[in-house]
Amino acid sequence: MPERFLSWLKSAAGITILLTLFLAAYATIDRGPYILVNTAITGGMLALVAIGLALLLGVMNVASFVHGEYFMIGTLAAYYVFTPLNAYLTENPSPFLTNAAPLIAILSAAAVGAAAGALTEILVFAPMRRRSRENWVMNSFLLTVGLAVVLINAHLLIFGADFKGIVRYWPGRPFTIMDVFISRDRLFAFLISIIVILVFWLFMKMTRTGRAIRAVSQDETGSLMVGINLTGILIFTMALGCSLAAVAGASLLFLYPSYPTVGLEALYMAWFIVILVGLGNIIGALTGGFMVALLKVLTVEYIGSGWDFVVPTALIIIVLIFKPSGIFGSEVRGALEK
């Protein structure tokens, strides 16, 4: 075990994680603990979007460029559920409902995201899969780009271009942790991302359906041979992946109001992560989420807020030159095992 640990430390993944931890520790001492707090919140949410993206890549072989739009759908659903609830609450105060309303909004966003994902698979990917599986990766990729344009403009057409935001989810005084004030919304956003990731992890490892999803990602013919209904699993995977993005969008509504292209930043960041750690790698997506978040936070802190896309992009170019399969790429395979 110690030798295995040492060799892992010397691998690209080990070096990067160590470097990240070192950077995080240095910045925390240099500038203060709020760096860690910001990284944790951004990282958890980025991880949710990136895990969904990695799932679609690993299981369905779809390089999705429409994933940010499910984030957008999440913000939209949460806004239209939370705003009337909140208006009702100002007239009829109820402590229980005040605390439950944000959760109701986020859960309905998850449901709407799942429904949108399932519909996308049934109406878009399944018909294409039936017609031809040649050039699948390229064709499905182009399809997602087109779908993204359609969804963004559908938002513009139906809901308009203005910002649809909320002031806050949870009212009340901010918490103080390590001398840092953290608003309730931020803390809950972090907790939600951790809980969702944990539940997702247990689901993939422990349940029959979770195992079936992993089986499909490893061998499609093999999964048919053991009696897995491929059509059903593909619809479910798409719903699950999109639902994760929608939860991220809904949980961050207090930071990013809903507007047509709100999902683009989440999409780009998720792609940074997925490219950084290796395509279709779910564990990698989780760690990568926090790494890219730290990078973003540090860039804003030390260089300036205009640079937060430049530094991660530059890093990815470097990673792709030296390690084209991503930093976790060589050691891992399969949807969850990768």
Question: Which residues are near other proteins by CB under 8 A?
Answer: 208, 211-212, 214-215, 218-219, 221-230, 333-334, 337-338
| Cα distance between residue 64 and residue 51, in whole Å | 12
**Least spacing, CB of residue 212 vs other proteins, in Å:** 7
Least distance between other proteins and beta carbon 208 (Å): 7
Tell me how far apart the alpha carbons of residues 78 and 329 are, in angstroms, rounded to a whole number.
Answer: 36
Our CB check for other proteins shows the closer of 323 and 333 to be: 333
Pick between residue 148 and residue 212 the one whose CB is nearest to other proteins. 212
Q: Which are the contacts of 193, defined by CB distance < 8 A and separation ≥ 6?
A: 41, 44, 45, 47, 48, 248, 251
Cα dihedral: 9, 43, 114, 136 (round 10): -50
Q: What is the distance in angstroms between the CA of the first residue and the CA of the last residue of the chain?
A: 20
Residue 68 and residue 244 in contact, taking contact as beta carbons nearer than 8 Å: no
171 and 98 in contact (C-beta within 8 Å)?
Answer: yes
Identify which of residues 226 and 321 has a Cβ nearer to other proteins in the complex.
Answer: 226
Q: Which amino acid is at 8?
A: W
Bridge partners, residue 164, by sequence = 258
158 vs 225, beta carbon nearer other proteins? 225
Q: How far is the CB of 78 from other proteins (least distance, A)?
A: 36
Nearest distance in Å: CB 51, other proteins:
17
| CB closer to other proteins out of 106 and 228 | 228
At closest approach, how far in Å is the CB of 278 from other proteins? 14
